[in-house]
A = this chain, B = another copy of it.
Amino acid sequence: MVGPVVGPVVGMVGAGQLARMTFQASIALNVGFRVLAAQPQDSAAQVCPGASFGDYRDLDDLLAFAAGCDVVTFDHEHVPGPHLAALEQAGVVLRPGAEALRFAQDKLAMRERLVALGVPCPRYAPAAGLGDVTAFAADSGWPVVLKAVSGGYDGRGVWVCGTPERAAEVLAHGITVIVEEHVGFERELAALVARSPHNQGAAYPVVQTVQRDGVCREVLAPAPHLPAARAREAERLALQLAAELGVTGLLAVEFFETAAGLLVNELAMRPHNSGHWTMDGARTSQFEQHLRAVVDLPLGAPDAIAPRAVMANVFGSDDPDVYSRYTHVMAADPGVNLHLYGKTPRPGRKIGHVTVLPDTALGDDIDALRERAGHAARYLGEGKD
């Protein structure tokens, strides 16, 4: 940014689609924005001028990047905790800070803290070996869920294990895990809130997320037929957690909705897939909100501007030519909002998302909206109806 009227310069570690969309928001605010990318092909590095290149696992690279920024924030949770502490000791302003990020990086620390705060969670236990897993399962029954305390392997960190043999396979990778009960939930919900250093909070409407094979496919905003009291409970809990954990920026809280009530599944302290609908459907997008929060500006109004919105993720296939399918998708439904991330398509790789809002002509029936969003996303990603 060369702009003459910018305020603080925000640096984002990581240059995936979250950084790309945060950069889009930074243009309208005229807030300076830089990314630390691994390579020029990274989603945000393609569009953000003056991207820095380096390794987020290398403290020197992080320090060099931070030297050009007033505030440093994150596109992902993978910066090693000791590096975060070292950055803060060197005077770098991290938002969220190292203390808060620990609870997004370390699932055992997160569970312990949440339980200490009295927040309802699935039953869990540390699991040093198969014996701990089978002992836990003797109480909870099979299947159980193994979760990497941090990281994972093959790009995954969560495994539903129906047998001791399957659990042993996961443990054989030598990662540190916790074991959790397999919750028989009715559906999954997500609450997205922002908190600023001034301690201002703002909560987006609670959404339903629809996952398949452990991957988010769809988001319905607001969550259909959610009783107002339960929506308020989820929002309040997310705002409370943001304050208790000292989060600055966004906090996404993923819930299981069960017959007995809400259980917290996961936390993320950054813009989140469950909030992509806000780009087209809320008064302030989550990306602008994150920027406002991390530079400590007053937060934007988080309310929806349409009675509902449906977001569907676009997954790649073996056919790389997404662009040639634009014509079909745009001609078939001119009301779909398209967001592509500039990523080389591969089967199962998230390369974009689409959002559909209600339409006077086409109506606001939730099934019809899901059909429209799903069709556009499938056709764009895979060329399939």
Contacts and interface: CB of A to CB of B under 8 A. Distances in A.
Interface of A: 1-7, 20, 23-24, 27-30, 40-41, 45-50, 202, 283-284, 292, 297-301, 303, 305-306, 320-324, 326-327, 330-331, 334-335, 337-345, 351-352, 357, 359-360
How many copies of the shown chain assemble into the complex? 2
11 contacts: A1-B46, A5-B320, A7-B326, A30-B342, A47-B49, A283-B337, A283-B357, A284-B337, A298-B331, A298-B334, A300-B334
B30 A335 contact: no
Given A27-B47, A338-B28, A357-B283, A345 B2 contact: no
A359 B23 CA distance: 27
Contact of A323 (B7, B50, B327): B7
Contacts of A23: 27
A2 B53 CA distance: 15
Contact of A322 (B5, B49, B292, B345): B5
B303 A306 contact: no
A339 B299 CA distance: 15
A327 B298 contact: yes
A48 B335 CA distance: 27
A334 B301 contact: yes
Q: Which 8 A-B pairs have the closest CB atoms?
A: A3-B342, A30-B340, A298-B330, A7-B323, A298-B331, A49-B49, A301-B335, A301-B334
Contacts of A45: 2
A47 B1 contact: yes
Given A47-B27, A47-B49, A49-B48, A299 B6 contact: no
A284 to B, nearest CB: 7
Given A2-B40, A320-B5, A326-B7, A340 B29 contact: yes
Nearest to A324: B7
Nearest to A7: B323
A334 to B, nearest CB: 4
